[in-house]
């Protein structure tokens, strides 16, 4: 029983931490959208200016929105699924870009350092991948239904409000 409570408390703290991180990182990018646009461009995901601009314009505020939902505890599982759906392909893109840089610079993979557009400036790739892996794990944890305490509306559709 006590173990369950500690586990749930940890999940709530993880939810707040994840939410705060997304709000912070999102705002950092949203304050300098042109810089973020240049960083998104390096991934060569799209070649249409409209699509490129849309990604760079929308993603930071989308992160702020999702982070706020997690902080408030609204639609937690849906938000966690949305974030996982964003984090997984983004992590793959970062990994792919790092592989390209590894080849170009002829240096070991973990020595590759670049600004991936994550909001934290230049980072070593192995550290970044580890961070993203943790973020994905936390999202999956919340997706499983943990972290229900202090939620304004944990499930959007059932209409149930869970408060501690």
Binding site for another protein (CB under 8 A): 30-34, 37-38, 41-42, 44, 46-50, 52-54, 56-62, 64-66, 69, 75, 77-79, 81-82, 85, 100-101, 103-106, 143, 155-158
The whole-angstrom separation of Cα 156 and Cα 153 is: 6
The whole-angstrom separation of Cα 105 and Cα 45 is: 21
The whole-angstrom separation of Cα 119 and Cα 145 is: 28
In whole angstroms, the minimum distance from the beta carbon of 149 to another protein comes to 19
The whole-angstrom separation of Cα 112 and Cα 100 is: 10
Nearer to another protein (CB atom), residue 2 or residue 161: 161
The whole-angstrom separation of Cα 127 and Cα 135 is: 12
In whole angstroms, the minimum distance from the beta carbon of 103 to another protein comes to 7
In whole angstroms, the minimum distance from the beta carbon of 163 to another protein comes to 19
What SS3 state is found at 124?
strand
Nearer to another protein (CB atom), residue 101 or residue 123: 101
Nearer to another protein (CB atom), residue 58 or residue 134: 58
Cross-strand partners of 123: 114
Nearer to another protein (CB atom), residue 64 or residue 116: 64
The whole-angstrom separation of Cα 112 and Cα 71 is: 33
In whole angstroms, the minimum distance from the beta carbon of 147 to another protein comes to 14
């Amino acid at each position: 029983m006590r173990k369950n409570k500690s586990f749930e408390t940890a999940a709530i703290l993880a939810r707040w931490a994840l939410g705060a991180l997304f709000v912070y990182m999102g705002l950092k990018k949203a304050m300098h959208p042109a810089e973020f646009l240049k960083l998104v461009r390096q991934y060569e995901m799209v070649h249409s200016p409209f699509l490129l601009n849309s990604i760079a314009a929308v993603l930071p505020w989308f992160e702020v929105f999702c982070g706020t939902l997690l902080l408030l505890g609204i639609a937690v599982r849906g938000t966690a699924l949305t974030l996982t759906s964003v984090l997984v392909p983004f992590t793959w893109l970062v990994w792919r870009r790092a592989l390209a840089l590894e080849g170009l610079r002829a240096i070991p993979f973990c020595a590759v350092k670049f600004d991936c557009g994550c909001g934290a400036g230049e980072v070593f790739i192995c550290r970044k991948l580890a961070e993203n892996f943790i973020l994905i794990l936390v999202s999956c944890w919340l997706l499983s239904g943990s972290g229900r305490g202090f939620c304004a509306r944990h499930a959007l559709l059932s209409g149930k409000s869970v408060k501690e």
